[in-house]
Copies of this chain bind each other. A is one copy, B any other.
Amino acid sequence: MNERRGLAGSASYGDDLLDLDGDRLREECGVFGIFGHPDAAAITALGLHALQHRGQEAAGIVSFDGARFHTERALGLVGDTFSDADTVARLQGNRAIGHVRYSTTGETILRNVQPLFAELDGGGFAVAHNGNLTNGLTLRRQLVRDGAICQSTSDTEVILHLVARSRRPRFMDRFIDALHALEGAYSFVGLTNKKLIGARDPLGIRPLVLGDLDGCPILASETCALDIIGARFVRDVENGEIIVASEDGIESIKPFGVQPARPCIFEYIYFSRPDSIVHGRHVYDVRKRMGAELAMESPVDADVVVPVPDSGVPAALGFAQQIGIPYELGIIRNHYVGRTFIQPTQSVRALGVRLKHSANRSVVAGKRIVLIDDSIVRGTTSVKIVQMMREAGAKEVHFRISSPPITHPDYYGIDTPEREKLLAATHNLDQMRDYIGCDSLAFLSVDGIYRAMGEGARDPARPQFTDHCFTGDYPTPLADLDLQGPKQLSLLAEVG
């Protein structure tokens, strides 16, 4: 056992001992905007609440009342801040945009919380961003060299500066000027004193949908944010499209011409909520089909199918239905785990405490189980979950993953560890199986996941999805990767 663990070093201890969710990928953001509704801020708060799974570290809303912009931003969940009626009431006006944020540790400071706002020459401009620029730091350095003062470490501030410095007279031209300088993934919502603006990058990597509530246009990262308020889904914003909502109606601008979209496949695998519809596909259905494809590709003779809660549930249902083995809750989740928890003493830690999940012995004991999860990142929690199953008496543990091995990091808004920390980047399948300690291990193939998406297979010439985490095929240049020199900009993070 120790030997197997030895492959990856410190897998057998550490804080993640306590948390099966500690080895998940994290999305950086969700955005929402509405134009023309008397309860704009309250509706935005509800929309952000529906998008909470996209970012739990901070939330913010900017509204405009025809004369002034108003902002409320805070660390914490949407409900922590916007359950206060006074807070919502201060956000006057019939148009608003909002943002929920996930961020890597240490950078979550209030001045990075979005939407960001700047008073430009022609009036105020607020913007919120889901995604990540692959040339954000490069642009920032040029701006600072030209005398710009950056007050956040957020990519989003770059677009503010680019707009502020454009010499074009009309706002939308300045905004388009700015977009042309950007590389990477972005879904923006913006608010000026006249317009609500949405924009997706040329490949449409991150999602953005257009909705309608009683004639008021809505922009949101996912359809579940429309459902919570009973709004109508109109259509996806297209890749490379700018949507401008104003009192004159809705305008569509395509400054990049027309090209095929290449949305991020992880929205289907993990990020989007199961009840959302992304580019015409029900996420829940796609996940079940991933499980079914997995069952066809890598069947196993077993007694029960057990999902790793909660992300493995739909794939486990699809697997179980396809293969005809009963689906059972072999792992119970404790819903009362907050953002901090008991730091047990070293001797207590040695007990192997599991605060967040426990084995359901009546399902597991004496059984051959198929454990279904959606992905493996570092693999550290997979080790623990298999161990937990064995301690509960499982006779065999077959591990099935409803997506391909993650071999490459992301630079488009998903928080992935460095390449050398990705289990599949440094281990082959047998090594992974040994490291995790399961009896068998299989991943869904790349073509299998394309089939689950309803595509025949991956088109290597023009891949239908952004899938570099599995393939290494990055869809845009990665300018910032080559930057050298002191990363002084990160000092900003400490300027409270």
Contact = CB atoms under 8 A, between A and B. Distances in A.
Interface in A13-64: 38-39, 42-43, 45-46, 49-50, 52-53, 56, 60, 62
A353 interface: yes
A468 interface: no
A151 B148 contact: no
Interface in A323-369: 326-329, 332, 334-338, 340-345, 347-348, 351-355, 358-363
Contact of A52 (B121, B166, B230, B336): B336
A461 interface: no
Interface stretch (A1-9, A79-87, A251-259): A79-87
A483 interface: no
A83 B149 CA distance: 31
Interface stretch (A182-190, A410-418, A428-436, A484-492): A484-492
Interface stretch (A241-249, A309-317, A439-447, A474-482): A309-317
Contacts of A70: 494
Contact of A360 (B85, B275, B351): B275
Contacts of A224: 332, 358
A41 to B, nearest CB: 10
A72 interface: yes
Given A70-B494, A71-B495, A494-B70, A338 B79 contact: yes
A284 interface: yes
Size bracket of the A interface: 35 or more
Interface stretch (A112-120, A290-298, A449-457): A112-120
Given A74-B496, A111-B151, 17 more contacts: A39-B345, A46-B353, A52-B334, A53-B336, A79-B337, A83-B343, A85-B343, A110-B496, A118-B151, A119-B144, A121-B144, A149-B149, A149-B157, A229-B351, A230-B353, A277-B362, A310-B335
Interface of A: 38-39, 42-43, 45-46, 49-50, 52-53, 56, 60, 62, 68-74, 77-80, 82-83, 85, 88, 110-111, 117-121, 123-124, 144-145, 147-151, 157, 160-161, 164-166, 224, 227-230, 273-275, 277, 282, 284-285, 310, 313-314, 317, 321, 326-329, 332, 334-338, 340-345, 347-348, 351-355, 358-363, 488-489, 491-492, 494-496
